[in-house]
Amino acid sequence: MYNIILKKKRNIELSTEEIYKVIEGYTRGDIPDYQMSALLMAICFNGMSERETFDLTMAMAYSGDMLKLERIHNITADKHSTGGVGDKTSLIVAPIAAANGVSMAKMSGKGLGHTGGTIDKLDSIPGFRTELSEEEFIDCVNSCGMAIISQSGELAPADKKMYALRDVTATVDSIPLIASSIMSKKLAAGAKIIVLDVKCGSGAFMKNFEDAKKLAETMIEIGKRGDRKTYALISDMDQPLGDYVGNRLEVYEAVKILHGEGTEDLMDACLDLSAMILIGAGKAGDIESGRTIAKKTIESGEALRVFKNFIAAQGGDNTFADNPEILIKPTNKIEVKAGKTGYITSIDTEKIGLASMYLGGGRQKKEDVIDPDVGLVVHRKKGSFVNAGETLVTLFSKPLSNTEQALECISEAYKISPEMPSEDEASKKHTLAYLGVEDPGVDR
């Protein structure tokens, strides 16, 4: 291990054998944290080649179970988001893809900090089971075209152990380490098509487009080397996606989209992600035709039908799918007003996410218990003109909510100016770039 650390410190490529030895040894407990920390820091400073990054990903993937999805009838797909605020796209995209003959076999995680987790949203549905055996998981996919379950502790255990170490040693912000962490779990999960939603902006880990693009390209390269059809889009997280933030509130908004209602930005995001899956499955030739198919799947009610079957198949009460208003539970509502008249020039999306967390909709620590009913509704987005006294955000709180901190976050999040924002900024689309697909009509 000393020699391996020294090589990477001197910016010399590690061999495939050396990388596998490190991951196997650290997962078993033979390599101590202090030596692994030194290697991770050397990687942060010197980076890794494409081959090294792929070897690291595969070594982490093979550190635990590798799901075998051969029993699933159709081509399998998975979709991953790098995190964000108000991102409930998995609940919409998976039913669209499944309704078009693509099996969505998806493992998801729980939220931490200002980002929400898909599993937390599903846990807010009465009776829904997010923990299934591998056999139950595959049977569920075969019976209704999709399943979403909590990530198994035996899936890429090296990643779990390494991420905990990176979190306390300031070695999180390395593109090879981020890419290998994400893709090791995706490759271990077994799907043949992988679609990545890489966020950038104030509410994302990647704050600028260039870093987001580099991460997306690195993950696409790993996917291709791993014999997976891999696509990515880079999307805007300079404001929340959709209008609702909070677990049961986001399920409500997802169902509204499946009914053909809801905000344009959320609908666009779901159509783009669905289009990429359909391209990978050979169901569409480009983004535009994929979007058209996806939109028709919503309009026909087929996506909603699959969603209802999916909820029931995993033990949930799906009556809310026909009447989503029953998801909005009575809570204390607090309206946050605009302090002055003008145009909303920016929203610090991370602070919106933190506000939901302080209300009890997210975790500050992994052990925290989430309240599924709390959250917030964003009434005004970037570029909007507001008068002083107009409602910007409505908070849904409970007696145990840290309302004071949530209100402070909201007041700091909005910037209002008397000057109208530029046309480019006001008309900024949610999807900023498509990667890995041939689409001549898209500006890159």
CB atoms within 10 A of CB 391: 13
E strand spans, 51-136: 76-81, 103-108
- The b-or-e profile of 313-335 (16+ CB within 10 A means b, else e) is bbebebebbeebeebeeebeebe
Coil, strand or helix at 67: coil
Q: Can you give the C-alpha Rg of the chain in angstroms?
A: 22
Is 114 considered catalytic here? no
Half-sphere exposure of 390 (CA within 13 A, CB side): 17
Cα–Cα distance for residue pair 92/186, rounded to 1 Å: 20
Exposure string of 5-42, with b = 16+ CB inside 10 Å and e = fewer, is bebbeeeeebeeebbbbbbebbbeeebeeebbbbbbbb
Yes or no: say if 243 and 252 are a contact pair by the CB < 8 Å rule: no
Q: Which residues pair with residue 344 across a beta bridge? A: 416
Which residues, in sequence order, are bridge partners of residue 179? Answer: none
Angstrom CA distances, 32 to 23, 46, 274, stand at 12, 22, 43
Q: Is 351 part of the annotated catalytic residue set?
A: no
Contacts of residue 70, Cβ cutoff 8 Å, sequence gap at least 6: none
The verdict on whether 256 is a catalytic residue reads no
* Sign of the C-alpha dihedral computed for residues 251, 253, 257 and 259 taken in this order: positive
Choosing from 159, 197, 236, 272, the catalytic residue is 159
Has 37 been annotated as catalytic? no
Assess whether 192 carries a catalytic annotation: no
Exactly one of 8, 88, 161, 166 is catalytic; name it: 166
Helix, strand, coil in percent for the chain, rounding step 5: 45, 15, 35
Q: Which of 8, 79, 80, 192 is the catalytic position?
A: 80
3-state per-residue secondary structure call for 323-334: CHHHHCCCCEEE
Q: In terms of C-beta distances under 8 Å and separation of at least 24 residues, what long-range contacts does 50-53 make, across chains too?
A: 50/218, 50/221, 50/225, 51/13, 51/16, 52/13, 52/14, 52/19, 52/176, 53/176, 53/179, 53/180, 53/218, 53/221, 53/222
- Give the integer Cα–Cα distance in Å for 78 and 80: 7
Active-site residue among 124, 174, 181, 235? 181
| Secondary structure in 3-state letters for 108-125 | ECCCECCECCHHHHHHCC
DSSP state at residue 206? B
Please count the other Cβ atoms lying within 10 Å of the Cβ belonging to residue 423.
9
Catalytic, out of 88, 114, 160, 185: 185
Query: What are the catalytic residues?
Result: 80, 159, 166, 181, 185
